[in-house]
Each structure stands twice: as C-alpha cells, then as structure tokens.
Structure 1
C-alpha cells in the first residue's frame, strides 16, 4: 500500500486570513479581478491589484504584502523577471523591495517541465495552473504560510529552497497519475471533506459578492464540481460522489454550465455540505437527500424540454 498523502492544508481560519495582505499582479483585468474576488471571498483582509509588474514593484514598499500572486505572461516585464527582480534585492539591497523573501505564487497556463524549471530558477514558491478554482488559490496561501521553505541567498540562486517539487494545480489528496485511484483511510476522507467545504464556502461567497453568476463563475463552478467528484472518488465518499454526479447530470441536461439555474446549484451545494455532516452510517438520510436532488434535476430537465418545445411551436413559419 502506498504511503499516505495529506491534503494541501486548507484549515486557515478567516481570522488568520483577515490579517493577510496580498498583491495580485496581472495585466488581464478580468483575471486579476477574479483572483482578487476569490481571495476576498476566502477571507483575505487586504487585496491590492496591479495590472503591470513595473507599477507592482514601485508599490511594494508602500503595500508591503505578505504574499504575491503574479501572472507568468505580461508585457514590459514578465512574471519571471518580476520574481527575479524581487529575489535579487537580497543581493543588491535598496529600498524598493522591503522583503526579498516574500512568497511568490505564479499563475500560469504553461505547465511544461521547462516552464516550471524556469520559474523555480526565478525564485517562485508555488504555482497555480489556469483555469484555477478557489481551492487552488487558497491552498497555495496555506502552503506558503504553513510550510515555509528556507530562503537561500547565493551568487547562483536566490529564493526558496528548491528541493521540494512544485505542485502546479494540486488541490486534492493525490497529485500524480500513478497514485491509487481510491484511498479508504478515514483520515483522508475527513481531510478531503475539509477541502471541499473550504472551496464551496469560498465559491458561494464569491457568487454573493458578485451579485450572481456570470459566464466565468459558471465555468468555475463546473470545474469545482468536477474536482469535488474526483476527490470523492479518491476517498470512496459515495454520498458526495452521488451528489456531484447529480449536479453534473443536470449541467449536461441543460446544455452546459452557462445554462444552469442558480437555485439548482445552491440546492446541490447545500446537500453536499449537509451530507458531509451526516454520520456515514446513516445511509437512509443520505439516500433521501440524494434522491430528492435527483428528482429535482429530472423535473427541471423535463421543464426545460417542455419550454423548448413550446418555443418551437410558437416560432413563425417563414413564407
């Protein structure tokens, strides 16, 4: 049997997060706002956004952030150069960079080994792979705070100790395709449920903060549910697995995440949270909750088909 793995820590309290100051650097305004909204919804007290790395560098002394999230590809100064400039301040000194050892999390769509190695050489602490979920962002905060690595200063390299392998989009109990598909350990299941609870809570706060579901949030919700189902499968959490299957079936039935009814999403979120609080031996209550969800999905799907049929019959006939 393989050695036990633990989830990325996700148990920072909102009180812990409320004391943090995070700087988000991304030239794509929509992505920068989305990251900032997720961090605020997750409980981060202060979030500053800069749309280019030069202005971000100039603001470091005034903001003095605890963590930096930076995009990889940016004009004028890309994320690698930005990270290197911060790290090199440990050698050259000056007042521009108050803390060269500040944790840097790179948000990137480039996950090739060469890209990862270049980022590690630049002194990046952690990675988040696009498209990301709330848990992916929040777990990186947890990692850099709970598991800090020694800061190395030498002529050949400045940055966090590179001996630990990078974790790209790791947001579940396993991170290699060769890992076992299922793990039955009760401790793993509890840790998995903690991660699911953190992610759903952050997602719901984000939806409320934005006043509803736009296209990007619907797509993120779909990814969150897919991740939740994968985690449930890994730890044999059958009740959560069935609930996510129900929601994914609904999304497929209505034609994709953009066509979903927010009420149906909320009902499934409530069910997942409720099921995770039920004693696993109480299968009758779990079955009742899941069956009600499945009936609701069937009803909504049937109603949608009826409405589509009605609209077709009312369409004027071209002559």
Structure 2
C-alpha cells in the first residue's frame, strides 16, 4: 500500500481527501472545532463520538485511519479507550478492526508523569490545548509519514515509545546574536512556506465555520504568535512585523472577542501578499507592511475614540 501523505512545505491538503478520522470528545465546542480544522485542512471524512464507548461502536462499523481523542471524558476516557483498542492485538475483538490505529490524545495535561502514563497506554501522539490548525495537522503527518513499529509484549502494547531524536537545524543561524548575513535562505523560504500553509488552513477553517467567531479569533491570535516567533528565528523582519501588528491590535482591543473580523480579513490578505514577495523586493515588502501598520493604527484609534 502506498504511504498516505499530509500537508507540509511540499504537500497540499488534497492529499488528505481519502483519510477517515474519528474525533472523540464530550465537549461539543471542542469536538466541532477539531472537526472544522480537519475538514478545512483537507481531510475527506470525519466522524464524531461523545465518549469512548460510543467511539468503540463507531470503530466496529467504520474502521477509521486515525483517532483524535480527549483525555478526560465520562463513561470511558481517552486512555481507557486506547488501552481497550490495543488489547485487541492480543485478544482479538471484532469490534476493533485495527488494534494499531494511531491514537492522538488531545489534552491540557503537560506533566512528564501524565505523558508517561499516556505512552504506557499506547498513545501515538499528543495535541496540547489550546491548539492551532498546524498542531492538529502536524500530528497526522507524524503518524502517517513517520510511523513507529507496533510492539506487542507482555508488558506493553502500542507504538514503539523510543523516538529517534531529530534536530530542527536547517541552516547556520541558531543564535539571535548572529549577523543577518548568516541566515540560510533555504531555511527562511521553508519557514515562509510553513507559515503560508498554516494561514491557509486558518482561512479554510473560518470559511468552514461560516465566519469569524470567538474560537477562531483566539486561534488566530495563537497562530500569529507562533508565526511571529518563527519569523524572528530566521530573521524575516517583515513577516515578523506583520504578524506582530495583529497581536498588537488584539492586545489593544483587550482580547480576541472585541476584534473586527474585517481587519482580520485585511491582515490575511496582506500576509498572503507579503509571503509571495521575493527577498530581493524588500522595498515592496516594507511598503506593504507600512500600509498594514497604518490600517491597524487607524482601526485602534477609531475604536478608542468610539469608546
């Protein structure tokens, strides 16, 4: 069977069209948000369940390729569901067609003890709340493009818990004190492509949800924070500045809930144009960011005057 692929710097969302993903969460808002992100990212088939028991019923009839599951749920939580699926590798269960199905736990738990508990249960990957579109899609990419050997032993059933260490180093610039001339242009280009994909996923999400709401505004804020940080790492000053402008706007408004959706749209369009401008046209990039800064400043001024 040919390996399935996911969006990355060189892959597009249409590669996900045949993927079947089950989302298990008792919180209707989180469940819908995850589903919307997956569909916006190109996942062709998404089903849901409110708890682990209902998820097992769906497994029997649908056989998903991947499962996103909340840690804490009534009746049967995420780790208990994972254990019940993995046990079918030793004790065959017709209700579990694939004991090796990748399990991605969505949780606010962050401690080493809790991570180890989940790994012992047979979990493949984690998504920490609050999450971004890139966080969800990157976990799919990991389980499909870099699958780990499935282990069946007396002590453990699940994906190999040993993960090969992979450094993110992609160029000579690793310190913020390094001069701008040593930044690897390949690294900067790859970073721009990654940012472009995440912003496109965010635009698709807003479209799927029928407009901007509280959750998408919060997610947009987090995405732009990440974008600003990534741009700073590769010394992409214009992208960092454009990202920071929206962060400044949200902070000035007192939170995502008070932001204007129209300004968000202007920002997305400007970011898209900026990411398409090649490095040698730096004056054009600076002019675009300057115009965006003026728009943001004007909007903040009008809002404060109205208040």
Using structure 1 for the length normalisation, give the TM-score. Answer: 0.87
1:61: which partner in 2?
A: 60
1:316 is matched with which residue?
none
Q: Secondary structure at the match of 1:131?
A: coil
How far apart are residue 74 of structure 1 and its match?
A: 0.9
Contact 1:108 1:127 in 2 (8 A): yes
Deviations 1:249-300 (A, max 9, x none): 2222222211111121111112222111111121110011000001111111
The equivalences for 1:168-247 within 5 A come to 180=175, 184-247=183-246
Give the Cα–Cα distance (whole angstroms) in 1 for the partners of residues 86 and 9 of structure 2: 27
4+ long deviations beyond 3 Å: 8-12, 179-183
Size of the alignment, in residue pairs?
Answer: 292
1:166 CA displacement: 10
Q: Secondary structure at the match of 2:126?
A: strand
Mapped partners of 1:150, 1:55: distance in 2: 28
List gaps (5 residues or longer) in structure 2: 1-6
RMSD of aligned residue pairs (Cα, Å) = 2.0
1:5-84 matches, within 5 Å, as 9=8, 11-84=10-83
List alignment gaps of at least 5 residues for structure 1. 1-7, 168-172, 309-319
Match of 2:294 in 1: 295
1:134: which partner in 2? 133
- 1:106 aligned partner: 105
* CA separation of 1:55 and 1:166: change in aligned 2, threshold 3 A: farther
Distance in 2 of aligned mates of 1:165 and 1:121? 18
Counterpart of 1:317 in structure 2 is none
With normalisation by structure 2, the TM-score equals: 0.90
Helix, strand or coil at the partner of 1:105: strand
